């Protein structure tokens, strides 16, 4: 008991000097129970005391910060500018000098969430794009446009080839223009001309004629003379590769250049730019070919027919004239392969029945049997090679059957000649049995005089 009394006196003196009464009471309670606590209870008790001391420190620091006052010069007394507790509240609307009546600054004409003083007029401010509430559609008239990305060189060939191949089928240049407008060719638009010419070199003469017409229609609308010049310049440089697939590429390209200059697709000075500057022999051949065609008089050659008129684009009268010339040349020369080549160059498989018709009519009008045997041999060759189909063959003979009465007016023995020629063609398997059976025969029988008793003349 004496030791407890001595401890009480020491604690009391210390508390009176530095701590409050409640602190001294906590110390005494600690001393009373320390003798009976286990180590775990002591550790728990010490943790509680430390937490309580921290809470008291926070309360005391907050009271000290609110009780600080300004000096006469307006500076903080004992404040640390680097401490968050020592900074001045810049959002405080009251006077910081300690003077005045404690009213808000600016007389209530500023601050957050207020409109300002009475009578104040605000100017119109331009909307800020970086504003989170910025609405582009609300800023006047908004125009929306479809943006098509520019096609690169890899995709250009994949998209242009089908367009050109379809054009070779329908021949409508306006359709090609609409398709090209939907594509963003960009700075590679001159590539379209070079690709179209390359594809036509591998095709027929009618394809080259269609390509020349296409370039003429696109010039000045989608492609300029400069674009056309770049395209043909590229073709001249690629001639060593083109002749691997098309040996006649230099001559054909020269005809393309001549036709383009005649159609005002290329400038007249295009050939002059290459004088003395061409090292490639193939390019020199192409340029010489173009120069020769342009130097000829119009009476000698027409550049608009430099490819001939292809296929079904030719007038019917022109096709009939060409077939007549073909058959007459064959009767003179007897060259079946040349006649076959000329017929293929006409590119009118739907009009081959006209050749059959003209051949049979020539047999009826010819003298002797030589023409009939030569025409049978020609039709037999066309039949075996598949150049003339069974439908075209039947249609040609049927046309002769239908017009045989009119032909008989000029050729009295047309029926007998026709029957002989039909039998010959059937024996050589040129026509079918059904076609031979429908061959018309002379319908009127001749009788002898009345004195013969009406007996039919044999």
| CATH topology identical between 153-305 and 316-438 | yes
When pLDDT is cut at 50, 70 and 90, the band that residue 342 belongs to is confident
Q: What is the Cβ-side half-sphere exposure of residue 9, based on CA atoms within 13 angstroms?
A: 5
Give pLDDT, residue 88.
53
Q: Which residue has the higher pLDDT, 317 or 400?
A: 400
Q: For all residues of the chain together, what is the average pLDDT? A: 78
Question: What CATH architecture applies to the domain 316-438?
Answer: Alpha Horseshoe (1.25)
CA dist list (Å): 63 to 20, 53, 66, 102: 17, 16, 5, 22
Inform me whether the pLDDT recorded for 139 exceeds 90: no
The confidence score (pLDDT) of residue 103 equals: 59
- Contact of 388 with 397, CB cutoff 8 Å: no
In the predicted model, is pLDDT for residue 457 greater than 70?
no
Contact assessment for residue 356 and residue 388, using Cβ atoms and an 8 Å cutoff: yes
Tell me the β-bridge partners of 456: 447
- What pTM value is reported for the model? 0.48
As a whole number of angstroms, the distance between CA 234 and CA 194 comes to 7
Q: Provide the pLDDT confidence category of residue 104 given band limits of 50, 70 and 90.
A: low
Phi/psi at 219 (5° precision):
-65, 130
Q: Which of 78-82, 133-137, 280-284 has the lowest mean pLDDT?
A: 78-82
Which residue do the tokens 């030569």 mark?
374
**Residue 348 predicted with pLDDT over 80:** yes
Determine the pLDDT at residue 102. 58
Of 58-62, 201-205, 258-262, 292-296, minimum mean pLDDT range: 58-62
pLDDT (average), residues 13-28: 50
Residue ranges per domain, the chain?
153-305, 316-438
- Structure-token pair, residue 296: 């000829």
Decide if 388 contacts 382 (C-beta within 8 A). Answer: yes
Residue 206 CA to residue 308 CA, distance in Å, equals 8
C-alpha 213/C-alpha 75 separation (Å) is 92
Domain 153-305 CATH class label: mainly alpha
Contact 339, 368 (CB under 8 A): no
363 has a pLDDT exceeding 90:
yes
Phi and psi angles of residue 310, each rounded to the nearest 5 degrees, phi first: -85, 135
Beta-bridged to residue 66, according to DSSP, are none
Taking only the tens place, the pLDDT of each residue in 51-100 is 888 888 877 766 665 555 444 444 444 445 555 555 555 555 555 565 55
Question: How many residues make up the chain in this entry?
Answer: 458
- State the pLDDT at residue 112: 66
Does the pLDDT of residue 261 top 80, yes or no?
yes
Residue that wins the pLDDT comparison between 63 and 432: 432
Asked if residue 222 has pLDDT above 70, the reply is yes
Handedness of CA 291, 296, 298, 303 (dihedral sign): negative
Check residue 152 and give its pLDDT.
79
């Amino acid at each position: 008991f004496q030791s407890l009394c001595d401890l009480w006196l020491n604690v009391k003196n210390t508390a009176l000097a530095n701590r409050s009464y409640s602190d001294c009471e906590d110390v005494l309670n600690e001393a009373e129970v320390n003798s009976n606590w286990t180590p775990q209870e002591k550790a728990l008790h010490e943790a509680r005391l430390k937490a309580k001391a921290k809470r008291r420190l926070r309360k005391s620091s907050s009271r000290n910060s609110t009780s600080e006052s300004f000096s006469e010069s307006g500076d903080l007394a004992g404040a640390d500018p680097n401490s968050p507790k020592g900074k001045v509240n810049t959002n405080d609307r009251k006077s910081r000098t300690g003077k005045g009546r404690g009213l808000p600054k600016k007389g209530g004409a500023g601050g957050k969430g207020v409109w300002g003083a009475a009578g104040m007029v605000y100017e119109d401010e331009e909307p800020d794009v970086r504003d989170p509430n910025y609405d582009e559609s609300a800023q006047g008239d908004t125009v929306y446009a479809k943006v098509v990305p520019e096609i690169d060189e890899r995709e250009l060939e994949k998209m242009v080839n089908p367009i050109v191949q379809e054009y070779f089928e329908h021949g409508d240049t306006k359709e090609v223009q609409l398709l090209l407008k939907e594509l963003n060719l960009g700075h590679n638009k001159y590539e379209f001309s070079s690709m179209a010419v390359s594809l036509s070199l591998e095709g027929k003469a009618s394809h080259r004629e269609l390509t020349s017409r296409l370039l003429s229609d696109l010039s000045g609308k989608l492609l300029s003379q400069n674009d056309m010049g770049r395209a043909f310049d590229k073709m001249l440089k690629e001639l060593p590769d083109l002749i691997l697939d098309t040996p006649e590429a230099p001559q054909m390209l020269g005809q393309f250049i001549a036709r383009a200059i005649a159609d005002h697709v290329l400038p007249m000075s295009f050939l002059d730019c290459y004088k003395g500057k061409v090292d490639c022999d193939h390019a020199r051949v192409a340029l010489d070919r173009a120069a020769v065609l342009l130097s000829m008089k119009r009476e000698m050659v027409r550049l608009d027919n430099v490819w001939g008129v292809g296929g079904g684009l030719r007038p019917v009268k022109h096709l009939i004239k060409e077939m007549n010339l073909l058959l007459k040349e064959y009767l003179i020369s007897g060259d079946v392969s040349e006649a076959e080549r000329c017929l293929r160059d006409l590119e009118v498989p739907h009009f081959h029945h006209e050749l059959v018709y003209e051949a049979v009519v020539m047999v009826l009008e010819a003298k002797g049997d030589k023409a009939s045997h030569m025409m049978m041999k020609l039709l037999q060759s066309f039949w075996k090679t598949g150049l003339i189909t069974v439908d075209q063959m039947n249609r040609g003979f049927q046309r002769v059957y239908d017009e045989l009465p009119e032909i008989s007016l000029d050729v009295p023995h047309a029926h007998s000649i026709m029957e002989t020629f039909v039998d010959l063609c059937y024996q050589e398997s040129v026509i079918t049995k059904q076609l031979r059976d429908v061959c018309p025969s002379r319908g009127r029988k001749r009788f002898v005089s009345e004195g013969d008793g009406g007996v039919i003349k044999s």
